[in-house]
Amino acid sequence: MTKKFNPRFEDKIFNEKIKDIDLIMPPEIYRSEGLSFWVDKRTIFDEYFIVDKDTTKKVSNIHGKTLTSVVRPPDYKNISNFIQQSSSGEYINQQMPKELYEFIFPPRVWMSNNINEITNMYNVAKIAKGNVLAGGLGLGIYPQYIFALDRPVESITIVDNDKDIVDVIGKILLDNFKDKKIKIVYDTIENFMQNTTEKFDTVYLDTWGDLNFKFLFYINYLISMADKITSENGIIGAWGYKHMYENFLDIVSQLDDHKDAWEHFYTTKNEVIIKYIEERKQRPEMTKKEYMEFANDMILNTIDPTPIELTMLLSNNTNLNKKFFY
């Protein structure tokens, strides 16, 4: 693992000041407008900041806050993967009507300016410097915090592979920060990092939709690409890495007491935990200290460039307005 990346970087430090920084958010966008995403807006007074898996902190907005949520439908081209993964193993015809797809895989919030998201962005923006590369654009929160914090930044290049995000959110950002050196590129971050001849002082990677440690081998690949295009004293950030990394180590520390659960992990197709279990089986003599070190080394240093869908799509923790459904 490159020294430019700190896997233990804490991006969940709450600070009351974060609430007071105004962010420019897109207007409400209806599904009927035909974009790849829609925008839901509602006023909220209380939010819950997730401190750790057992603790939340209530954050109140006395005058109300407009919660902006970007919602999108399931990614139809990837549905078949989930069907293959279903534990019952049944095959569902991919030509099924959209209404039925959406019943199984409902629209979900893709990104928002909720207190957890903005706290992550604020903390990574706090260390941005020089020429910055960000992948992707999302709601453009990260660059806005860089400007609000007056970071010593010369330019920001933002790469996003969603044309509508680039057109709509990119335009809002460019229109509102005309005095800043911002370049928005419509491309995948993978392609961009592969082909660019530029060097950056900060690379911030935030292109996955969930914090699942099964993504880590691929994220390590993205970090290894970022390493090649960052200056000698450059820094690399990756959204939620610490959370996924610690979650993996936490599971590993419990695994030996639950050997009966090992087979279950094979059905989840979580390559990270399967690789660990396979290796662990080969080395039955390892002490706890040894296997924790082994797991740590494996999770930080395994790089897998196999393209994977970095979104689980299955969760539906939203309370969406009916207008988003068929």
Which residues of the shown chain bind ligand SAM in the complex (CB under 6 A)?
Answer: 111, 121, 135-142, 159-162, 165, 188-190, 206-207
Residue type, 110: W
Minimum separation from the CB atom of position 140 to ligand SAM (A): 5
Minimum separation from the CB atom of position 41 to ligand SAM (A): 16
Minimum separation from the CB atom of position 107 to ligand SAM (A): 16
Query: CA 9, CA 7: separation in Å to the nearest integer?
Result: 6
Minimum separation from the CB atom of position 145 to ligand SAM (A): 8
Closest to ligand SAM by CB, 59 or 173: 173
Burial track 64-87 (b if 16+ CB lie within 10 A, e otherwise) = ebebbbbbbbbeeeebeebbeeee
Q: Are 206 and 215 in contact (CB under 8 A)?
A: no
Query: How many CB atoms are located within 10 Å of the residue 154 CB?
Result: 11
Closest to ligand SAM by CB, 190 or 255: 190
Minimum separation from the CB atom of position 235 to ligand SAM (A): 16
Query: CA 118, CA 312: separation in Å to the nearest integer?
Result: 21
Closest to ligand SAM by CB, 157 or 207: 207
Q: What distances in angstroms separate CA 102 from CA 16, 316, 317, one per listed residue?
A: 38, 11, 15
> What's the half-sphere exposure (Cβ side, CA atoms, 13 Å) at 240?
20
Query: Token pair for residue 285?
Result: 């003599």
Closest to ligand SAM by CB, 59 or 184: 184
Minimum separation from the CB atom of position 146 to ligand SAM (A): 10
Minimum separation from the CB atom of position 82 to ligand SAM (A): 18
Closest to ligand SAM by CB, 194 or 268: 194
Q: Estimate to the nearest angstrom the gap between the alpha carbon of 160 and the chain centroid.
A: 13
Closest to ligand SAM by CB, 159 or 223: 159
∠ Cα 130 136 141 (to 5°): 70
Query: CA 167, CA 262: separation in Å to the nearest integer?
Result: 46
Closest to ligand SAM by CB, 47 or 276: 47
